[in-house]
Amino acid sequence: MTRDADQAVACTRLVYAFGETTAVDGLDLTVAKGEVFGLLGPNGAGKTTAIRCITTLLPVPARMVRVFGRDAAKDAMAVRRLLGYVPQQLSADASLTGRENVALFARVFDVPRKERAERVGQALTAVDLTDAADRLAGTYSGGMVRRLELAQALVSAPRLLILDEPTIGLDPIARTGVWEHINAVRAATGMTVLVTTHYMDEADQYCDRVGLMHHGRIRALGTPAELREGLGERRRAAGAAATDPLPTLEDVFRDIAGSGLDEKSGDFRDVRSTRRTANRVG
Ligand SMILES: Nc1ncnc2c1ncn2[C@@H]1O[C@H](COP(=O)(O)OP(=O)(O)OP(=O)(O)O)[C@@H](O)[C@H]1O
């Protein structure tokens, strides 16, 4: 343990390259205990790579990533035990029931045998899937699958929940449902949440702080209100009228990422990942 055990996540000049492509390029990021932190950025900004470094799925040198003070390079098992992770790609098995899917995660994450059945039931209740728990996941809607994956991540009672685009491909009602369940668990447990999303309205509404990532690094950091007000001030200093509407978080995003947001809708990787989610139990 180190002095920064008060920080849920601390990345210090984190660098990660795939061959010639530097996906994360000197990322400095701290997530405080108990907060909901949103990592935003255009496609290819390096968000998923950063998250995979934090979850220890990608190897990093010592002193670049700490989770509650544990070094991801030196103490990977301890880091894994502290976190729950909902990846972008499908992690539920369509041929198992909801309960069996969550029970599998309980075994993998070493939930004590005697407590397993109860903890699986609690995780399913937390995401409102009790009634559907004994149906095959293959019969679930997209929103139910996302909630099931949330239960899988919650069954080990993580201190840090990491979600990579938890609501991509869901309709607005299902999106709200996912967030309500995240918030309810957070209120009950004090868990820290690190989330990536492309939905600016969600970041604005649900995140305590956001970091806008571009080309592998954080380019703007603050509460959604601070970032919006900061852009408003810069615009007024540049001659905008005081009566102009306040900027949105999307305006802040465009200001930093330029055309990145526009490219998103036609981007192959984005389309693929949206489809993957939409068809995830197909
Ligand atoms: N397995 C891989 N092999 C090679 N390059 C990769 C790999 N994964 C990611 N990259 C590259 O690293 C860069 C960052 O990708 P990453 O997926 O981290 O971005 P992102 O911000 O999560 O994007 P998205 O919003 O589309 O999920 C991109 O240039 C991407 O093409």
CATH label of the domain that carries residue 238: 3.40.50.300
Closest atom of ligand 1 to 88 CA is: 27
Share of the chain above pLDDT 70, in %: 90
Probe target for ligand 1 pocket from 24, 39, 49, with the most ligand atoms within 8 Å of CB: 49
User: Cα(44) to centroid of ligand 1, in Å?
Assistant: 5
Are 24 and 15 in contact, with CB atoms under 8 Å apart?
Answer: yes
Q: How far is CA 231 from CA 30, 89, 228, in A?
A: 23, 34, 5
Residues with CB under 6 A from ligand 1: 18, 21, 23, 41, 43-49, 269-270
Q: What is the pLDDT of residue 2?
A: 47
Structure tokens at 106: 């309980």
Q: What is the ipTM of this complex?
A: 0.97
pLDDT at 266: 39
Model confidence at 268: pLDDT above 80? no
Determine the pLDDT at residue 209. 97
Classify residue 21 as left (phi > 0), alpha (psi -120 to 50) or beta. beta
Residue 99 — pLDDT band, cuts 50, 70, 90?
A: very high
What average pLDDT does this structure show over 135-162?
94
Distance from Cα 49 to the centre of ligand 1, integer Å: 6
DSSP 198: S
Residue 174 has pLDDT above 80, yes or no: yes
Statement: residue 170 has pLDDT above 90:
no
pLDDT in tens, 101-113: 999 999 988 899 9
In which band, very low, low, confident or very high, does the pLDDT at 265 lie, cut at 50, 70 and 90? very low
| CA distances in angstroms from 189 to 26, 154, 184, 185, 195, listed in the order given | 32, 11, 9, 6, 17
Task: Tell whether the model's pLDDT for residue 212 goes beyond 60.
Answer: yes
Say whether pLDDT at 239 is over 90: no
The mean-pLDDT minimum among 12-21, 31-40, 90-99, 235-244 falls in 235-244
What's the pLDDT score for residue 256?
A: 86
State the pLDDT at residue 276: 54
pLDDT over threshold 60, residue 172? yes
Regarding pTM above 0.95, the answer is no
* Residue 262: band (very low, low, confident or very high) from pLDDT cuts 50, 70, 90: very low
- Domain range spanning residue 220? 3-278
Give residue 97 CA to ligand 1 midpoint distance, Å: 32
- Which residues 6+ apart lie within 8 Å of 31 measured at CB? 7, 8, 9, 10, 37, 160, 192, 194
Q: Is the CB of residue 2 less than 8 Å from the CB of residue 152? A: no
Statement: residue 281 has pLDDT above 90: no
DSSP 80-137: HHHEEEE-SS--S-TTSBHHHHHHHHHHHTT--HHHHHHHHHHHHHHTT-TTTTTSBG
pLDDT value of residue 50 = 97
List C-alpha distances in Å: 122 to 52, 85, 136, 260.
27, 18, 19, 41
What is the count of structural domains for the chain? 1
Q: Give the position, in ligand 1's atom list, of the atom nearest the Cα of 50.
A: 18
Q: If you take atom 29 of ligand 1, which residue's CA is the nearest one?
A: 44
Cα 119 to ligand 1 centroid, rounded to whole Å: 35
d(CA 277, CA 160): 23
Better-predicted residue by pLDDT, 132 or 257: 132
Please give the mean pLDDT across all residues of the chain.
88
What confidence category does residue 192 fall into, taking pLDDT thresholds of 50, 70 and 90? very high
Q: How far is the CA of 189 from the centre of ligand 1 (A)?
A: 32
